[in-house]
Amino acid sequence: MPRGITENDVWTACDALLVSGSRPTIERVRHHLGRGSPNTVGPHLDTWFKGLGARIQDPAAFAAPSGVPDPVHAAASQLWEVAQAEARRDTEQRVTQGMAEAEARALASETRAQQSEAALQASAMAAQRAQEELTRAAGALEEALRNHAAEKARVDEVRTALAATHLRIQQLEAELASQRAEAAQQVAAALERADAADRRVAMELERERSARAKAERAVEGWAAKADAARRETVTATDELQRKLDAAHMREMQLQAQLASATADLALERTLRQDAQGAAQAQEANARAARDQTSMLHETLERLTATLATSRSSPPKSAVPRKRSARKAV
């Protein structure tokens, strides 16, 4: 098993290379020894160079011993001169290389410092811009929330107004139905009284014709009674006409109230459309408001149709009955 490279092996190889006129390097030492890794040879080579200066200052380190032949002494002298030149060259190279490396490291450090400072400034500016954007976004969000709350309150007001209008229309419908029922009852009672008066007139006339042969005075009396019955019929007919006129007046008043309710409904529809245009986020609530408004509109149309039907077919039974009564006389 081969042994490891020692410091003495490396120093001996370096001295041999220096004597031969070659500058010792890691690859030359490894080639001279025939073995060794760069990681092992490198530190020993650095130690050899560090100690080379002290060895050069000591002439005895390279001096030949006494009794050495002249060729050997000449070789030693030559080795001494080569070592000194190599040491000076190596020292100059190492100083130059060290200064270059130091300058490069200083320049790199300064460059990194400048880059770090620029990056720090960019980060600070980015953080400031992000903070400004966050502040603007927070303000916009707060403004949007306030607008949303205002639009929601407005929609709630419109919904409340629509509910009040719907309740008012229901009340008007109930009042109209009650008044119509009352008017119908009055008309029925008046017609019944007119029929009873017609029957009484017919009975009196029949009795008058039956008794005409018996006595002229009885005929005149019966004629007087018939005139009284006719006057009663006329009075009942006039009373019925006055009640019909009063019912017509109440119907016109109800129609005016319905027209006012329709105007209120149109105003509420305008408010609802404005609320829809300003609060798109409340589309579901606006849709519900439109549905309610449609229901109210249908109810108003039904009421209008009902009123139109009532106006187009007023009761006219009183006049024909009056004419028939006169014809019977």
| pLDDT of res. 318 | 44
List all residues 6 or more positions away from 194 whose beta carbon is below 8 Å from its beta carbon. 233, 236, 237, 240, 317, 318, 321, 322
The pLDDT > 90 percentage for the chain reads 9
**Start-to-end Cα distance in the chain:** 164
Distance CA 90, CA 55 (A): 14
| pLDDT of res. 61 | 57
Regarding predicted confidence, which is higher, 240 or 322?
240
Distance CA 326, CA 234 (A): 10
**Is there a single domain that holds both residue 41 and residue 175?**
no
Structure confidence by residue, pLDDT tens digits, 216-258: 776 677 778 878 878 887 897 888 788 888 878 888 887 888 7
pLDDT of 88 strictly over 50: yes
**Is there a single domain that holds both residue 92 and residue 211?**
no
Is position 238 within any domain?
yes
Domain total of the chain: 2
Structure confidence by residue, pLDDT tens digits, 120-158: 788 788 878 878 888 887 888 888 788 888 888 887 887
Confidence of residue 284 (pLDDT cuts 50, 70, 90): confident
Measured over all CA atoms, what is the biggest interatomic distance in the chain, rounded to whole angstroms? 210
Degrees to nearest 5, angle at CA 181 with 198 and 164: 160
| pLDDT of res. 327 | 43
Distance CA 189, CA 157 (A): 48
Distance CA 210, CA 83 (A): 183
| pLDDT of res. 320 | 47
**Of the given ranges (62-66, 183-187, 206-210), which has the lowest mean pLDDT?**
62-66
Selection from 110, 139, 168, 118 nearest residue 303 by Cα: 168
Selection from 255, 234, 240, 249 nearest residue 303 by Cα: 255
**Is there a single domain that holds both residue 267 and residue 203?**
yes
Is position 248 within any domain?
yes
| pLDDT of res. 329 | 38
Q: Find the domain containing 256 and state its range.
A: 157-328
**Is there a single domain that holds both residue 164 and residue 87?**
no
**Is there a single domain that holds both residue 171 and residue 290?**
yes
pLDDT of 319 strictly over 80: no
Confidence of residue 28 (pLDDT cuts 50, 70, 90): very high
The pLDDT > 70 percentage for the chain reads 80
Distance CA 320, CA 117 (A): 112
Is position 150 within any domain?
no
Per DSSP, helices labelled H in the chain are 7-19, 26-33, 38-57, 70-211, 216-278, 283-312, 318-328
Q: By the 8 A CB rule, do 268 and 161 touch?
A: yes
CB atoms within 10 A of CB 30: 18
